[in-house]
Structure 1
Amino acid sequence: MSKQIQVSGLDAYYGSHKAIEDVSMTIEPRSITAFIGPSGCGKSTFLRTLNRMHEVVPGARVEGKVLLDGEDLYDPDVEPVSVRRMIGMVFQRPNPFPTMSVYENVAAGLRLNGRIPKPELDDLVEDSLKGANLWNEVKNRLNEPGARLSGGQQQRLCIARAIAVKPEVLLMDEPCSALDPISTLAIEELMSKLKNEYTIVIVTHNMQQAARVSDRTAFFNLAAQGQPGKVIEMDETSRIFTSPSYQATRDYITGRFG
Structure 2
Amino acid sequence: MSKRIDVEHLKVYYGDFLAVDDITMQIEPRAVTAFIGPSGCGKSTFLRTLNRMHEVIPGAYVEGKVNLDGENLYAKGVDPVRVRSQVGMVFQRPNPFPTMSIRDNVLAGVKLNSRRIARSDADELVESSLRSANLWNEVKDRLDKPGSGLSGGQQQRLCIARSIAVRPDVILMDEPCSALDPISTLAVEDLINELKAEYTVVIVTHNMQQAARVSDKTAFFNIAGTGKPGRLIEYAPTQEIFNKPQEKATEDYVSGRFG
> Which ranges of 4 or more aligned residues in structure 1 deviate by more than 3 Å?
none
Structure 2 residue aligned with 1:182:
183
Q: CA deviation at 1:113?
A: 3.8
Q: Tell me which amino acid in the other structure corresponds to 1:107.
A: L
Identity across the alignment (%): 68
**What corresponds to 1:219 in structure 2?**
220
Q: CA deviation at 1:55?
A: 1.2
What are the equivalent positions in structure 2 for 1:1-258 lying under 5 Å apart? Answer: 1-111=1-111, 112-258=113-259
Could you tell me how far apart the structure 2 residues matched to 1:195 and 1:17 are?
35
Amino acid at match of 1:104: D
Q: Which whole-Å deviations, capped at 9, do the CAs of 1:2-25 have from their partners, x for residues lacking one? A: 100000100001111110000000
Q: Deviation per CA, 1:36-75, whole angstroms, max 9, x where unpaired?
A: 0000000000000000011110011111000000000000
Give structure 1 stretches of 5+ with no counterpart. none
For the residues of structure 2 that align with 1:92 and 1:238, how far apart are their CA atoms?
A: 25
How many angstroms apart in 2 are the aligned matches of 1:78 and 1:114?
Answer: 19
- Match of 2:19, as an amino acid? A
State the secondary structure of the residue aligned to 1:200. Answer: strand
**Secondary structure of 1:156 counterpart:** helix
Give the unaligned 5+ runs of structure 2.
Answer: none
Question: Following the alignment from structure 1 to structure 2, what is the Cα–Cα distance between the partners of residues 126 and 169?
Answer: 20
After TM superposition, the structure 1 stretch with the greater mean CA deviation from structure 2, 107-116 or 190-199, is 107-116
SS of structure 2 residue aligned to 1:114 = coil
| Aligned alpha-carbon RMSD (Å) | 0.6
Secondary structure of residue in 2 paired with 1:65: strand
How many Å apart are 1:218 and its aligned residue? 0.2
Please state whether the residue corresponding to 1:40 is helix, strand or coil: coil
Q: CA deviation at 1:114?
A: 2.3
Q: 1:68-100 CA distances to partner (integer Å, 9 max, x unpaired)?
A: 000000001110000000000000000000000
Does the CA-based 8 Å contact 1:55-1:62 persist in structure 2? no
Shift of 1:142: 0.3
Q: Is the 8 Å Cα contact of residues 3 and 28 (structure 1) preserved in structure 2?
A: yes
Q: SS in structure 1 opposite 2:84?
A: helix
Q: Distance in 2 between matches of 1:16 and 1:221?
A: 20
1-side partners of 2:71 and 2:165: how far apart? 23
Assess if the C-alpha contact under 8 Å between 1:5 and 1:67 holds in 2.
yes
* 1:26 counterpart SS class: strand
* Alpha-carbon separation, structure 1, partners of 2:215 and 2:47: 16
For 2:163 and 2:42, locate their aligned partners in 1 and report how far apart those are by CA, in whole Å.
23
Q: Indicate the SS of the match to 1:241.
A: helix
User: 1:245: how far off?
Assistant: 0.4
How far apart, CA to CA, are the structure 1 residues paired with 2:235 and 2:53? 23
CA apart distance, 1:225: 2.0
Q: Measure the CA separation in 2 of the matches of 1:38 and 1:188.
A: 21
* Structure 1 counterpart SS, 2:94: coil
Q: Distance in 1 between matches of 2:5 and 2:46?
A: 13
Tell me the secondary structure at the aligned position of residue 41 of structure 1: coil
Query: Quick one: distance in 1 between partners of 2:251 and 2:235?
Result: 13
CA contact (8 A) 1:131 1:160 kept: yes
TM-score scaled by length of structure 1: 0.99
Q: 1:175 Cα deviation (Å)?
A: 0.1
